[in-house]
Amino acid sequence: MKKILITGGGSGIGAATAHKLAASGAAITICGRTAESLDRTVAESKHTGQPIKPVVLDVTDEAQVVGLFGEHRFDAVVCAAGTIKIQNVFDLSLADFEFVLRANLTGTYLVCREAMRQMRTNQVRGNIVNIASLAGIRGMQLRFPGSFAYVASKHAVAGLSEALAIDGQPYGIRVNCISPGRIDTAMSRQFGGIPAIKPEEVAALIETLLDARSTGVLSGANIEVYSHD
């Protein structure tokens, strides 16, 4: 049975991916900063597949991330944790800028690093899928002013994923990235309207990327998903 870790598993793409992969028979561990959101994902998945294990964890805390991988072994990882703060460059504090970078970039780095260390040690030909954003590829300032910290962090996640794929290649570790446009999540809805693309659709794409039988030669890719809204 494939063992998969999903960060940001309490909502949005992370929760949808947990539901999708658990229903397909994988053993899923989800992590996030609040027990309430994780418990909601677990409750929604009951009787639809394998049980989901929740772990309260801050991906920006190195000790917590190292501890998680010390206690659990994983075959695949999905890094879906993320946040956004909207403020123009004149007024955003350094603390808030660094908070966004730590949540979106540093957290992704720490989880990927520990996952790849574990996979190399255990000779696991593992798979990692990171969630960046179309905002990190095409930019979003014209549509959503004040999002520059988010844009910068997601540019970095895309670049990080490509570089990690190179480091993982000698050990059979694949790293790919998905950069969605607006997805129907609470984060996107704060900008108004209801985005057409649902988290479940991105979850299906993640499932395909994790399937070595169909995408076994794919690594270092950044797949752009346009919402056209």
Contact between 81 and 106 under an 8 Å Cβ cutoff? The reply is no
The angle, 0 to 180 degrees and rounded to 10, between the axes of the packed helices 107-121 and 62-71 is: 30
Catalytic residue among 109, 150, 171, 226: 150
Dihedral class, residue 228 (left if φ above 0, else alpha if ψ from -120 to 50, else beta): left
Q: Is 226 among the catalytic positions?
A: no
Give burial (CB, 10 Å; 0-12/13-18/19+) of 184: buried
The span from the first CA to the last CA of the chain, in angstroms, equals 39
CA distance 36 to 61: 20
Residue that has been written with the tokens 């179309």 in this structure? 134
Q: Which helix (DSSP H) or strand (DSSP E) does residue 76 occupy?
A: strand 76-79
Lookup: tokens for 38: 């994780």
Question: Any idea which residues carry the catalytic annotation?
Answer: 150
